[in-house]
Chains A and B, each alone.
Chain A
Amino acid sequence: MAKNNSIYSKPIVFSVIVTVAILIGTAVMMVLPMFSSSMHPKLEKLKPYTALELAGRDVYQENGCFYCHTQTVRPLKAEVMRYGEYSKAGEFAYDQPFLWGSKRTGPDIARIGGKYTDKWHYKHFNDPRKLFQGSNMPGYGWLADYQLDPGETEARMKALGFPYTKEDIDALSDKTKLDALVAYMQALGTAVPKPPKVPMIAAGDKNPFAENANAVSDGKKIYEMNCAACHGIDAKGDIGPDLTDFEWVYVAGPIGDDTLFFMIADGTKKDQEFEGRKAKGGMPSWGEFFGKKKIWSVVSYIRSLEEKK
């Protein structure tokens, strides 16, 4: 039993000791690191948000997207394959607050910038279930009914000390919250260069399953689940181009098996060069998800569509 003159009968002394006890851990783990440069790194390529992107980030905050999406890729093998290069401390210098999130009801979107076209995002926000039947993401098409308030965004840019021009602000007046959100999506993760892909097959390889009937039906299944959302269920084109015509966007004339394979495995990036033509981007890469066999099956399926014509 404590004696009567112990700290348990002296509330003020007791409170002081409690305060000291909680401040020790606080100081070591939270306050001291704050003064070390390792907590404030900045990548060279990192740029502050533009006015439109910041407005989009505000929309992201307002609607609690971070309760379903994270923005940190962990340095784990499967995670880097799924989402892209792992997150660097220097990517977040302009993030006040950070929006890493703690739950992935939807996928991580740290590397979403450039993965899809703007058109895809509009379509997806309008009705996620049009693209993915089983998605439980709420629709956000209604954001298009809200005009941005340029004055408000200007004040916010000022508060954060981000550079802007008068034109940037004026340009906001005919933009909606949805436009801003899409711009923010396209800015995410762009400060980190995408590492070059290791080719999965050798140039000139032929489809080893070309004569295989099962490959066509396997490929059809894969196509319907993953590709139809953008290229249409009949592959006649929608967000992505028609795959049944003999016209290839970046390849003149008939396309080789290997080129078709690379197109699907690696996707396209904006301004990437193909035989002298520049890509618009927006075709995601599938190599990490499918492996060789599945990609060849899809190639077989696409070939079967061409043949029908």
Chain B
Amino acid sequence: MAESVAYEWKPVKGFALSGVFWGAVSILIGLFISIQMWKPEWNFAPYLTYGRLRAVHVNGLAFGFAVAEIFALSYYIVQRLTRTRLLFPKLAMVQLYIFNVAIVAAALSLLAGFTQSKEYAELEWPLDIGVVILWVMFAVNVFGTIIKRKEEQMYISLWYLIATVIAVAVLYIVNNLAIPVGLFKSYSIFAGVNDANVEWWYGHNAVGFVFTTPILALFYYYLPKSTGLPIYSHRLSIIAFWSLVFAYLWTGAHHLVYTPLPDWIQTVGIAFTMFMIAPSWGSVVNGYYTMGGNWDKMNTNYLTKFFILGITFYGLQTLQGPTQGLRVVSQLIHYTDWVPGHVHMGTMGWVALTVCAAMYYTIPKVYNTELHSVKLANVHFWLVLIGQLIFSISMWILGVQQGAMWKAISPEDGSLTYTFMESVVKNYPYWQMRTFGGALFTLGMVVFAYNVVMTALKGKPAQTAEGR
């Protein structure tokens, strides 16, 4: 690089380490609630009952881990891809402090039972305002830096980031509209069927624009960076991007199949859900072809396998998801443990593998040092991979079993074959299996956290002039 840019890494470091901390805490809570499922005595009333801790687990990982790392890594790649210093570093640091205070407040409020009780939108209205403020701060820095950029072309990752910033803002604000009654309680301004439709328009796209588009932004940046191979097809990236961004918003109703939601909304939602395979696999194929004839990198470069397995799980997820949307499949697996199996292939497989690999790449760069231990990174990889597979596969089997037992009708006299309790008692071995898989995954993430922190501690003062 001829010219040198004084990049601003402090917010990157701050968000990266905050995310690692909140991620570790929330994963441990996940492990704990997985035990509560087969050990109900572990519900310690009132704050540590399952119904409250589950919200802490989900929100902790979505906001405390995923969003924190999205902030961190976006601030990294935006500066790199624009070859421009972050426009408002002080603002980013203020954002970092507010973020951590907000996460503490969010966790405490959910433990206390303050919840809007809409999935992924549990936080009560004062915290919603906090989230919007944080998001605006993020948007200002991302857009500001992009507008001042020194690199004419915006690379693919920036497209996905821009889409993320815009879509999350729209989704979050609309779905959280509520009538406040005091500081800790509000009621949705929408009611009944309409509220359900708004919620799942939001819910599915929260998955889309928090667990998909920003993660694709990371994938498109870090895969070429860590392998040294350019993305296979720019044209494919363009088609995949626009069709994904356009189609995602149509699909939320696949969460409401066979509910009282008007049929036409369900049917249009399901049709677009099928279409989603195309843009998703656009990125998967692009990833695979980028590897071209260089598959040996799976062995020689420790990061490659994270990204390739990550995109593979994304590929599987985006085949399984549309299948689940079909009426014939939904009637069987909806409401069962199959769905957590699906969810965790996405979050533990695709999101966590990709984010962690991006962190392994970024942390040494911003701390101006080497990764503490590649060996530990490999241990991390195998633990989370095996842990996630055990988790998902046991939940898929259980889900099909539950679905089958609930609908089984005796051919003799047309009565239901099983009472609900008869299906509940059959869950236990699978729930215990999940805890076992989850424990391996947790261990892997602890190794990851340790490796990141040790690397940060080895950090050297940054040089102002940036090499690559």
* Interface residue ranges, A against B (CB under 8 Å): 1-2, 4, 8-9, 11-12, 14-15, 18-19, 21-26, 28-30, 33-34, 38-41, 58, 61-68, 70, 72, 74-79, 81-82, 87-89, 91-108, 128-129, 132, 134-140, 142, 152, 155-156, 159-160, 225-226, 287-294
Contact = CB atoms under 8 A, between A and B. Distances in A.
Contacts of A98: 188, 191-193, 195-196, 199
A8 B247 CA distance: 20
B43 interface: yes
Contacts of A61: 113, 115, 117
A132 B421 contact: yes
A19 to B, nearest CB: 5
Given A156-B181, A291-B413, A29 B193 contact: no
A15 B261 CA distance: 32
B415 A25 contact: no
A15 B162 contact: yes
Contacts of A78: 406-409, 416
Interface stretch (B152-160, B293-301, B306-314): B152-160
Interface residues of B, number: 101
Interface string B396-413: 000000100011111011
B6 to A, nearest CB: 22
Contact of B250 (A28, A65, A294): A28
A309 to B, nearest CB: 29
A97 B199 contact: yes
16 contacts: A8-B159, A9-B153, A22-B167, A63-B52, A66-B117, A74-B259, A78-B416, A88-B260, A96-B191, A97-B118, A98-B191, A100-B259, A101-B335, A102-B339, A138-B43, A291-B410
A103 B115 CA distance: 18
A34 B194 contact: yes
Give the secondary structure class of A's interface: helix
A41 B194 CA distance: 10
Interface in B209-263: 234, 238, 242, 245-253, 255-256, 258-262
A8 B339 CA distance: 37
A81 B409 CA distance: 10
Contacts of A291: 410, 412-415
A152 B409 CA distance: 47
A159 B181 contact: yes
Given A24-B246, A82-B406, A89 B193 contact: yes
Given A92-B260, A96-B187, A102-B339, A25 B52 contact: no
Contacts of A81: 409, 415-416
A142 B46 contact: yes
Contacts of A77: 407, 409
Contacts of A33: 194, 197, 262, 265
A21 B250 contact: no
Contacts of B258: 74-76
B155 to A, nearest CB: 8
B104 interface: no
A21 B248 CA distance: 10
A22 B159 CA distance: 14
A41 B181 CA distance: 26
A94 B187 CA distance: 11
Contacts of A40: 191-194
B159 A4 contact: no
Contacts of B269: 29
Given A64-B54, A96-B189, A18 B163 contact: yes
A36 to B, nearest CB: 8
A103 B162 CA distance: 33
A175 B200 CA distance: 35
B117 A99 contact: yes
A64 B421 contact: no
Contacts of B153: 2, 4, 8-9
B146 interface: yes
Contacts of B179: 96, 159-160
B227 to A, nearest CB: 21
A92 B193 contact: yes
Contacts of A23: 170, 249
Given A30-B201, A78-B406, A289-B415, 13 more contacts: A1-B234, A8-B159, A14-B154, A14-B162, A24-B249, A26-B170, A63-B52, A78-B408, A87-B259, A91-B192, A288-B415, A291-B413, A294-B415
Nearest to A24: B246
B49 interface: yes
Contact of A39 (B189, B194, B199, B410): B194
Contact of A287 (B198, B238, B251, B415): B415
B131 to A, nearest CB: 18
> Which A-B residue pairs are the 8 nearest by beta carbons?
A64-B51, A92-B192, A25-B249, A291-B415, A291-B413, A62-B113, A138-B43, A89-B260
B108 to A, nearest CB: 14
A176 B262 CA distance: 38
A38 B261 CA distance: 9
Interface string B102-138: 0000000000011111110000000000000000000
B373 interface: no
A75 B410 CA distance: 19
Contacts of A288: 415-416
A29 B204 CA distance: 13
A24 B334 CA distance: 28
A11 B413 contact: no
Nearest to A58: B185
Contacts of A70: 335
Given A29-B268, A100-B259, A152 B182 contact: yes
Contacts of B425: 134
A227 B201 CA distance: 43
B162 A82 contact: no
Nearest to A83: B420
B191 A93 contact: yes
B429 to A, nearest CB: 12
Max chain B C-beta neighbours (<10 A), residue from A75, A88, A138, A290: A138
Given A64-B51, A96-B190, A289-B416, A30 B198 contact: yes
